[in-house]
Amino acid sequence: MNGNEIWDEALQLLSKKLTRVIYDSVISPLQVYSFDNSTLILLTKNPFYKDTINSKYISVLDEALWEVSRKKIKAIIYNESDLEKKEQIKKDEIINNSPYSQYNFDNYIAGSNNKLAYSAALSVAKNPGTAHNPLFLYGGVGLGKTHLMYAILNYIKETNPSKKILYCTSEDFTNELIKAIRESKNEEFREKYRQIDVLLIDDIQFLINKESTQEEFFHTFNALYQTKRQIVISSDQPPNKLNGLQERLTSRFAQGLPADISKPNFETRAAILEKKIQNYGLRTPSEVVSYIAENIDSNIRELEGALNRVISYCELSNNPINLENTIIALNEIIYKAKKQDITAPYIIEVVAQNFNITKEDISGKKRTANIALARQISMYLITKYTDLTLVTIGKAHFGGKDHTTISHGCKKIAQLLENPNENELQATVSAIEETLHSK
């Protein structure tokens, strides 16, 4: 039996030995990385799980491996940063090992942030080569580009199994090209790529400044395009912002359908969480979903990471998934994010913008009601989001004001925020906080 076969059988045993949540969220997503008859290296995408597995489940894994193979096989857990250390490991091997079958359209939540990308991807999957060519998906990290590409791949594999379809990152493409050149197999390389019906190239920005790879890709692109084969490309930038990529490439990208994926809003974030929770077969109070969706707005990968963290925390500590435990489980990451990004000068800047006054107005001595209020809101938010002492805040950010003045300002705003008649102030402060978090 090879590593994958052993692991598949071990998984069946593990699904009975472990609770559903642990099995679904921690164990079944593990990917076989390598196997040499005595050690099975498994890969987790979630760094938090590496420790969890090592401390709680490694003996169950070893036991299951013994039961299916009757050999002493040691399971070793790697996360992606372990892999990065091991240079000889090729990313495409990992990708080929894993079906990524959960990256499908059913699990993809369509929201206002990805509407066009989603519907275009679906029509490409239904009618490859005829709908939008190339489909060019672009957006920041962790927002769902790779997921959509795999959704296209999985959909076509299922509905159109005779189609030759290839997913690779532009790094894979580059490495393969370099290898082909080294081994004088340029023709085989070309042949391979030109037979493909659907080519999905992820993260095209890695071709920036790689002139000869761009040259080769340009010819591949044209060969496929002219014979109406489907090309799907993803990038972290729109075509016209890909500086360092040849103009003849970017102009071809722009001729198809560029579709952007932006950050999801609160409702979409909540819907994504609901979907994941449902897939795990769990139920959680809606306030748990709201809390996570409100606090984690950087990207969807982090949103998922936060949810997994909450689930494992509750599972491992034998606690119910409720708001209280969610706050504890996420305390560290939310607190860290706040500390890193939100500094006193930045708060002052955002408050000033919101009140349409200058930063100097806030830190200075003017006493008009509007400026005084903006100043006190700044004091309040600085104590809320930073670790600075009242003394430092007064000295460094408000022209040498005494700490009692800072303390008074903070208390006053805190009181107003509790007051049901102060809707307008509450809305102002929430709008400012929203801006602070969207940095």
Nearer to ligand ADP, 7 or 103 (CB): 103
Give the nearest distance from C-beta 147 to ligand ADP in angstroms.
3
318 CB neighbour count, 10 Å cutoff: 6
Q: How far is the CB of 153 from ligand ADP (least distance, A)?
A: 12
Considering only 185-193, 217-225, 298-306, 383-391, which stretch makes contact with ligand ADP by CB under 6 A?
A: 298-306
Residue 120 binding: pick among Mg ion, ligand ADP, none (C-beta 5-8 Å cut-off by kind): none
Q: Which does 114 bind (CB under 5 to 8 A by kind): ligand ADP, Mg ion, none?
A: ligand ADP
**∠ CA 184-198-153 to the nearest 5 degrees?**
115
286 and 318 Cβ atoms separated by less than 8 Å: no
d(CA 168, CA 162): 19
Shortest distance, position 5 Cβ to ligand ADP, whole Å: 26
Q: How far apart are CA 290 and CA 305, in angstroms?
A: 15
C-alpha dihedral (259, 261, 262, 267), degrees to nearest 10: 120
**Contact flag: residue 163 with ligand ADP (CB under 6 A):** no
Whichever of 145 and 263 has its CB closer to Mg ion, that residue is: 145
**Stretch of 144-152, 167-175, 261-269, 379-387 lying at the interface with Mg ion (CB under 5 A):** 144-152
Binding mask 216-255 for ligand ADP (x = CB under 6 A): ----------------------------------------
| Closer Cβ to ligand ADP, 77 or 307, answer by number | 307
User: Smaller CB distance to ligand ADP: residue 52 or 146?
Assistant: 146
Contacts of 141 (CB under 8 A, 6+ apart): 236, 299, 301
- List the one residue out of 61, 64, 24 whose CA is nearest residue 46: 24
Nearer to ligand ADP, 147 or 397 (CB): 147
Q: How far is the CB of 117 from ligand ADP (least distance, A)?
A: 9
Number of residues written out for the chain:
439
Binding-site residue total for ligand ADP (CB under 6 A)?
16
Query: Residue 393 and residue 14: Cα distance in Å, rounded?
Result: 55
29 binds, among ligand ADP, Mg ion, none (CB under 5 to 8 A by kind): none
Identify the residue among 104, 114, 133, 146 touching Mg ion (CB under 5 A): 146
143 binds, among Mg ion, ligand ADP, none (CB under 5 to 8 A by kind): ligand ADP
CB of 101 to ligand ADP, least distance (A): 12
Question: Which of 40, 61, 73, 109 lies at the binding interface for ligand ADP (CB under 6 A)?
Answer: 109
Of 143, 152, 314, 330, the residue at the interface with ligand ADP (CB under 6 A) is 143
In 10 A of CB 244, how many CB atoms? 12
75 binds ligand ADP (CB under 6 A): no
146 lines the binding site for ligand ADP (CB under 6 A): yes
Residue 114 binds ligand ADP (CB under 6 A): yes
Task: Mark residues 254-293: x for contact with ligand ADP by CB under 6 A, - for none.
Answer: ------------------x---------------------
Select the span of 32-40, 110-118, 141-149, 368-376 touching Mg ion (CB under 5 A): 141-149
CA distances to 127, 129, 135, 154, 345 from 105, rounded to whole Å, are 15, 19, 16, 9, 43
Give, rounded to a whole angstrom, the gap between the first and last alpha carbons of the chain.
Answer: 51
Using CB under 6 A as the binding rule, whether residue 141 contacts ligand ADP is answered as yes
Which residues make up the interface to ligand ADP (CB under 6 A)?
A: 103, 107-109, 114, 141-147, 272, 300-301, 304
